[in-house]
Chain A
Amino acid sequence: MYDKLASSWVSKFVGWAAALLILFMPFYVENQYYLRVMMMIGIFALLGLGLNFLFGYTGQISLGHAAFYAFGAYGSAILETKLGVPFLAAWVITLLFTGLVAYAMSVPILKLKGHYLAMATIGFGLIIESILSQWVSVTGGHDGITLLTVNILGPWLSQNLYYFIVGSAMIALWMLNNITRSSVGRAHQALRDDEDAAEALGIPVKNYKVNAFVLSAVLAALAGIWYVHLSMVITPEVFNLSVSIQILMMVVVGGMGSNYGAVLGAVFLIALPEFLYEFKDANIFIYGLIVLIVLLFFPKGLIGMVEAVLRPVGRLFKGEDKQNSFGQLEGKRGV
């Protein structure tokens, strides 16, 4: 539905204006804390966008996504601090390595379906999690790794990390929007809805599943790289099973199968604790309840609600067209 909204010139203008406003936020927002929240949203948006492409568009669940997030964070941190690799090379090596591991993993893991896939990804995530805490000589065990961003990136880059993080999240959003609107993206959705039918139509199901797995792993690794340079310290707890679950919940709350939904889910996940500061203890409890309510009553997630609000507005600008009533029928989305 929102595809049609996006094609109208008003929403295009609004979209560009919003993107520029968010990207150049450091120019008019003094408060470092808000900028940090924005960077965390950017990091989780990358995680959510990647997982949404794998789960929302391609229909392959992953409950071990924090493992790839950890690959990015630990990979770049180990290369930069212990081996003294220059940061750009370290980032490229980390992303390539994660992609390779994901590719190697995808061959056996994507043969599995449904709950078998869910359990296999849980197992994978837990193995990586235990290695992070037990392989002390390399990962620092529970003490983790400390990394001084200023020493590695230099003063200018470490001051302007915001543009890297938020900018890359925006590029990822733009790229995934283009992919999912293209014929390849529609093929992914077709194989999500009915694998056999998609195969019969000549879609290379296996390749597309592997592509989605590798792309989402690489995006998660990128998020990990940004995370370690932002927080400057990483421990295994940041990448455990409950983080994988949170990433998945984020995609569900935002709206499965919508790129804007994944971003909205990230905003919600990061911003909600700020509003619930009074009930700090009950944070996750409330978040879990919200996930249940969304699952039970709003299967299209937050983005579904936003669309329902925006639809009349969009119609106002576009004038009456007959396609809309047809479009409403196909508004059904989700796995």
Chain B
Amino acid sequence: MIFSKVVSEQLENYIQLVIAGISTGSIYGLIALAFLIIYNTTKIVNFAQGEMVMVGAMMAFFGIGISKFNYFGTILLVLAAMIVLSYVFRYALVAPLQRRGAPMFSIIIGTIAFGTVVSEGIGLWLGKQQYGVPPIIPNNPIHFLNLSILPQSLLIIIVSLVLVVAIWYFFHKTMIGLSLRAVAINPDGAKVSGINISRMVAIGFALSALVSGIGGMLIAPVAGASPYMGLSIAVKGFAAAILGGMGNMYAGMVGGLIIGVIESLLSYNFAAYAEPITYGIMLFMLFVKPTGLFPEHS
């Protein structure tokens, strides 16, 4: 009897860890999704994706923590900030570089420099420290069987899944989404068919920024908000995208969940090496199968 109790306690422990892993993994998946929206519509690799998440988190802090907006107002503020950011990103950085026909490396470095400027700028504005952000819903753990689950984790998982489904619906069932995919597959053909390419690219960028902003808003109550949170979170997003497969927009979510669960389980036993092992998985995947677990079909 005692033995079985120990086993069931162990099991509960692991289930708890898996749930926590799924929750952080959904965030990684959201970042991967945002990253892959830009990559799959414009072939631009956005190394400033983490900073977009950071802006979402910091604006949530600015809305709730400093300006004492209500939650609805904060959400609107974050979404507006993300759309502005996506326009700045496009018209101040990507469009001039592309007009000049700059090589891909210049665009990569440009997005890195853009991310640095954004995070330092936010740091100058709101201060360079870590802030706590109060959760959107009351944060008393829900008890279910013998497990206790934080409502915020549940919210993260639900919102992420809803977003993935919504993005899928957008790209496969709506006219704008289909046009956007057409632009990605063949820009000239899309142009001939009367699709306004410039508008489509703007929509793609805005969509990606919105998804990352929502990711930032979700993670802020769990991990806090800081101007420098972007880089480490972006790398997890890249790892998720690579694990899933860069060519497949939705595979990033699966990659994110896998990485989140592995990281959560590892951090229970080898906390010190949980992160390097995650990067190790990314490297291994790059060396062995750079196309990812679920190669492209879209």
Contact = CB atoms under 8 A, between A and B. Distances in A.
Interface of A: 55, 59, 61, 108-109, 111-112, 114-116, 118-120, 122-124, 126-127, 130-131, 134, 241-242, 245, 248-249, 252, 281-282, 284-285, 287-289, 291-292, 295-296, 299, 334-335
Best-buried of B113, B124, B273, B282 by chain A (most CB within 10 Å)? B113
Interface in B221-278: 231, 235, 238-239, 242, 272-273, 275-276
Interface of B: 45, 47, 93, 96-97, 100, 102-106, 108-110, 112-114, 116-117, 120-121, 123-124, 128, 231, 235, 238-239, 242, 272-273, 275-276, 279-280, 282-283, 286-287, 290
Contacts of A296: 93, 96-97, 110
A241 B230 CA distance: 12
Contacts of B287: 108-109, 111-112, 120
A124 B106 contact: no
Contact of B106 (A112, A126, A335): A335
A292 B276 contact: no
A108 B238 CA distance: 19
24 contacts: A59-B105, A61-B105, A112-B286, A112-B290, A114-B45, A116-B286, A116-B290, A118-B47, A119-B282, A126-B275, A126-B279, A127-B283, A241-B231, A249-B109, A282-B120, A282-B124, A284-B116, A284-B120, A285-B123, A288-B114, A291-B113, A295-B102, A296-B93, A296-B97
Contacts of B276: 126-127, 130-131, 134
Given A281-B128, A291-B116, 8 more contacts: A112-B287, A115-B45, A119-B286, A126-B235, A126-B275, A292-B117, A295-B97, A295-B109
A123 B282 contact: yes
Contacts of A248: 109, 112
Given A115-B108, A289-B117, A124 B283 contact: yes
Contacts of B231: 241-242
Contacts, number: 112
